[in-house]
């Protein structure tokens, strides 16, 4: 079928003109239009007074007190990051506000990723909640604690969508789907910033990493990304576009190249797309030494080249490296950068400082610094962790455990883990490092106070010593049930934590086998920051609970689910592969001309592996059961301009206890000028139903939900059939269709 575009808009042909017909990511012309920050009298007054050196100083962000004081001595510093403690921050601010010529306050930043003092579950776990309110609660609590402790700005949320579980930073994002990532990222931006981020309980947020960082080849951090324009716009960019629309204050450039051009020097993505097409009016900060790294990338020959590439491309503030300050005057004289480019960057940074209220309130109240989690914050973290856990298997069923159980053996190296339950990027805030998470052992003891609870590690997370297996088996034989807690340490995911295999590390799988050999009932609890290849557990463990890294209340939250105080309702935000050789595997893939067919060798599959993931995107069990039926569409035709279709279905709790279900809506365009994914998530609702209760869930589909970007970065809505699938995972079978006209 030959189809023509009916609609080019909604961020269609890019306003900045950076797209050429060949699809090359082009550099911006000096006169290309971008969205300018709104005019502010204070900012304009300062710009008129500032020397070139002072302007360049505002573009500098440093990461320690010593370097900061040196730069402040000449008035050449815009901000400081990774310094914590209200007294330390106030001392630095005092120099800026009371001893520099123009008294411009510093902005203080920190990686407040999933908690400042109170650690929430890692972001990937929050993706499992399929509940934007979980991300919003984390951000709201974190903002209050951090801002009252002197921090103004967080380098979060991370909204890098990825198909690569070997990549350690999958833990920091929301998984493999751009729609899910968008909903949670926007909620987190709003949770950090509120309606007014000058509030003493709010932070300026930073959308990172711009862009396509999650596409790193081989899952190796900082690695190359080679991506088509259509995939860039359809897969990687949507969360950023939505976050700009939600008012995110800042954006961070990514470490990777994008089709041969490093992001820090990529005028197409930063200038043309972000500041041009998306109308972003905040400022762009480099990642750690990201400007300097243009040299090793091979885009720049030296620091002057690096600065000359990054500033015109759209990087406003340089983190750690000092090329803007060092070479800015020289580059301006050589006309390699312009005064307008410098002034635009300074305006953007000063305006964020104005919006933070730093000129009126530059200092933190040291008496109000948050050094320990409040009861309310702990309760919010515990509730979030419970909503994030995913029940992967429950034969028997083994779970939930009876609170009257006589004895429980806890086995595994993570049964008494503390900080590993927090996961990556934790403990940076004041007090966080001195508030250890509740262990799984302690959580079980609290949940079943009448039970005898014993513990045997069995082995370490990464070691090969099996001498502890005998004690673990003895504990299991003596107990009514065993809870085996295995997985990864916190250091095994996050930045610079790629793994070439994603099996259970060390001899933990053998430990599970040893517990199985006892013949006693057991449950496996996974603590990890990425999907793992666990076909052995799937085949041999009676029950598997994916707890991720659940945060400071992790032990209590795990016990809440194990004993049924919380009925698990989380869903996987990322596919679990059967083997590492299957990667990348993801639900929203494009079809081939020869889709996998077990009966036909000459189709797209492995000879030695079953097709499809071990657990698909959106999968998750409950202690009750649900039925989704009665799919209805309000119309069979969707006008390409301004049309709407209501999709509804009835969901019923068919089991014997109250529980949560996530009803998910997927669409597919089976014939298009750009081949479309076999399914795309376009709606989800998490509902709580009593036993036997029913409700109707409804979704609204518009042309935006069925359109896509082509390889000229034009948004297209094409006529033809659209298939709709509704169910409880990406494998949903309840289906209908409508026609775009």
Q: State both tokens at 340.
A: 């307008």
Rounded distance between C-alpha atoms, residue 124 and residue 115, angstroms:
14
Q: State both tokens at 564.
A: 């049924």
Q: For strand 79-81 and strand 60-62, is the pairing parallel, antiparallel, or unpaired? A: parallel
Distance of CA 313 to the CA centre of its chain: 25
Q: How far is CA 177 from CA 128, 170, 587, in A?
A: 12, 12, 9
Q: For strand 60-62 and strand 318-319, is the pairing parallel, antiparallel, or unpaired? A: parallel
Count Cα atoms within 13 angstroms, Cβ side, for 621: 15
Rounded distance between C-alpha atoms, residue 153 and residue 428, angstroms:
14
Residue 684 bridge partners (DSSP): 664
Q: For strand 107-110 and strand 153-154, is the pairing parallel, antiparallel, or unpaired? A: parallel
Query: Which strand (E) or helix (H) includes residue 740?
Result: strand 734-740
Q: Residue written as tokens 């290309």?
A: 32
Q: For strand 107-110 and strand 407-411, is the pairing parallel, antiparallel, or unpaired? A: unpaired
Rounded distance between C-alpha atoms, residue 168 and residue 173, angstroms:
10
Query: Do 485 and 461 meet the contact criterion of CB atoms below 8 Å apart?
Result: no
Name the DSSP class of 665. Answer: E
The beta-carbon contacts of 516-519 under 8 Å, at least 24 apart in sequence, are 516/540, 516/541, 517/473, 518/473, 518/476, 518/477, 518/482
Rounded distance between C-alpha atoms, residue 254 and residue 264, angstroms:
7
Maximum Cα interatomic distance, the chain, rounded to a whole number of Å: 80
Alpha helices by DSSP H, 194-271: 229-231, 238-245, 267
Q: How far is CA 612 from CA 179, 296, 392, 584, 587, in A?
A: 21, 39, 16, 11, 9
Alpha helices by DSSP H, 4-131: 41-49, 52-58, 65-72, 86-99, 123-128
What is the number of other CB atoms lying within 10 angstroms of the CB of residue 296? 11
SS3 breakdown of the chain: % helix, strand, coil, rounded to 5? 30, 20, 50
Measure the CA angle with vertex 130, ends 171 and 693; round to 5°: 150
What is the number of other CB atoms lying within 10 angstroms of the CB of residue 707? 24
Query: Do 193 and 247 meet the contact criterion of CB atoms below 8 Å apart?
Result: yes
**CB contact set of 291 (below 8 Å; sequence gap of 6+):** 264, 306, 307, 310, 315, 318, 319, 321, 323, 324
Query: Do 470 and 498 meet the contact criterion of CB atoms below 8 Å apart?
Result: no
What phi and psi, each to the nearest 5 degrees, are found at residue 690?
-70, 160
Query: Do 370 and 117 meet the contact criterion of CB atoms below 8 Å apart?
Result: yes
What is the number of other CB atoms lying within 10 angstroms of the CB of residue 97? 18
Rounded distance between C-alpha atoms, residue 739 and residue 645, angstroms:
11
Active-site residue numbers? Answer: 287
């Amino acid at each position: 079928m030959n189809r023509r575009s009916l609609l080019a808009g909604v961020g269609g042909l890019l306003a900045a003109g950076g797209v050429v017909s060949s699809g090359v990511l082009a550099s911006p012309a000096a006169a290309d239009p971008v969205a300018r920050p709104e005019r502010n009298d204070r900012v304009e007054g300062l710009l008129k007074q500032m020397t070139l050196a002072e302007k360049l100083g505002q573009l500098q962000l440093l990461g320690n007190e010593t370097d900061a004081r040196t730069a402040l001595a000449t008035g050449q510093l815009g901000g400081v990051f990774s310094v914590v403690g209200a007294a330390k921050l106030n001392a630095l601010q005092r120099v800026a506000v009371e001893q520099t010529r123009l008294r411009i306050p510093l902005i203080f930043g920190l990686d407040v990723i999933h908690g400042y003092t109170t650690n929430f579950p890692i972001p990937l776990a929050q993706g499992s909640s399929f509940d934007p309110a979980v991300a919003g609660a984390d951000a709201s609590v974190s903002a209050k604690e951090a801002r009252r402790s002197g921090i103004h700005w967080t380098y979060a949320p991370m909204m890098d969508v990825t198909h690569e579980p070997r990549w350690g930073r999958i833990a920091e994002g929301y998984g493999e789907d751009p729609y899910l990532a968008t909903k949670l990222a926007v909620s987190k931006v709003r949770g950090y910033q509120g309606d007014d981020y000058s509030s003493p309980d709010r932070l300026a947020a930073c959308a990172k990493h711009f862009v396509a960082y999650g596409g790193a080849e081989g899952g190796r951090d900082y690695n190359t990304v080679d991506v088509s324009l259509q995939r860039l716009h359809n897969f990687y960019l949507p969360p950023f576009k939505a976050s700009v629309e939600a008012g995110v204050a800042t954006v961070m450039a990514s470490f990777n190249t994008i089709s041969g051009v490093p992001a820090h020097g990529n005028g197409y993505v930063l200038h043309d797309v972000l500041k041009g097409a998306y109308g972003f009016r905040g400022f762009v900060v480099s990642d750690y030494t990201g400007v300097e790294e243009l040299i090793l990338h091979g885009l720049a020959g030296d620091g002057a080249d690096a600065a000359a590439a990054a500033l015109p491309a759209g990087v406003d503030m340089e983190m750690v490296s000092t090329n803007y300050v060092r070479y800015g005057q020289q580059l301006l004289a050589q006309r390699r950068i312009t005064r307008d480019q410098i002034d635009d960057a300074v305006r953007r940074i000063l305006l964020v400082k104005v919006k933070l209220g730093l000129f009126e309130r530059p200092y933190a109240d040291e008496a109000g610094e948050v050094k320990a989690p409040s009861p309310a914050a702990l309760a919010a973290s515990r509730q979030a962790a419970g909503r994030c856990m995913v029940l992967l298997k429950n034969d028997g069923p083994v779970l939930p455990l009876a609170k009257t159980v006589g004895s429980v053996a806890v086995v595994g190296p993570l049964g008494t883990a503390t900080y590993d339950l927090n996961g990556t990027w934790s403990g940076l805030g004041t007090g966080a490092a001195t508030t250890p998470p509740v262990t799984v052992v302690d959580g079980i003891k609290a949940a079943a106070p009448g039970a005898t609870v014993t513990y045997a590690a069995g082995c370490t997370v990464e070691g090969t010593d099996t001498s502890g297996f005998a004690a673990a088996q003895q504990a299991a034989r003596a107990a009514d049930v065993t809870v085996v807690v295995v997985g990864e340490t916190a250091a095994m995911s996050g930045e610079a934590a790629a793994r070439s295999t994603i099996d259970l590390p060390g001899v933990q799988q053998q430990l599970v086998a040893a517990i199985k050999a006892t013949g006693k009932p057991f449950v496996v609890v996974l603590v990890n920051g990425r999907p793992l290849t666990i076909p052995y557990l799937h085949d041999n463990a009676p029950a598997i609970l994916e707890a991720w890294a659940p945060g400071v209340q992790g032990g209590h939250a795990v016990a809440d689910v194990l004993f049924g105080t919380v009925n698990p309702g989380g869903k996987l935000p990322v596919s679990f592969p059967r083997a590492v050789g299957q990667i990348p595997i993801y639900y929203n893939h494009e079809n081939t001309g020869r889709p996998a067919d077990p009966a036909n060798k000459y189709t797209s599959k492995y000879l030695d592996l079953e097709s499809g993931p071990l657990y698909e995107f959106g999968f998750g069990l409950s202690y009750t059961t649900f039925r989704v039926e009665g799919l209805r569409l309000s119309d069979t035709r969707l006008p390409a301009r301004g049309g709407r279709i209501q999709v509804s279905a009835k969901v019923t709790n068919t089991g014997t206890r109250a529980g949560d279900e996530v009803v998910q809506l997927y669409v597919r365009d089976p014939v298009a000028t750009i081949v479309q994914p076999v399914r795309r998530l376009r709606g989800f609702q998490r509902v709580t139903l009593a036993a036997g209760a029913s409700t109707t869930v409804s979704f609204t589909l518009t042309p935006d939900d069925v359109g896509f970007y082509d390889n000229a970065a034009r948004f297209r809505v094409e006529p033809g059939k659209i298939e709709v699938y509704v169910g409880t995972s990406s494998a949903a079978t309840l289906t209908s269709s409508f026609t775009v006209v």
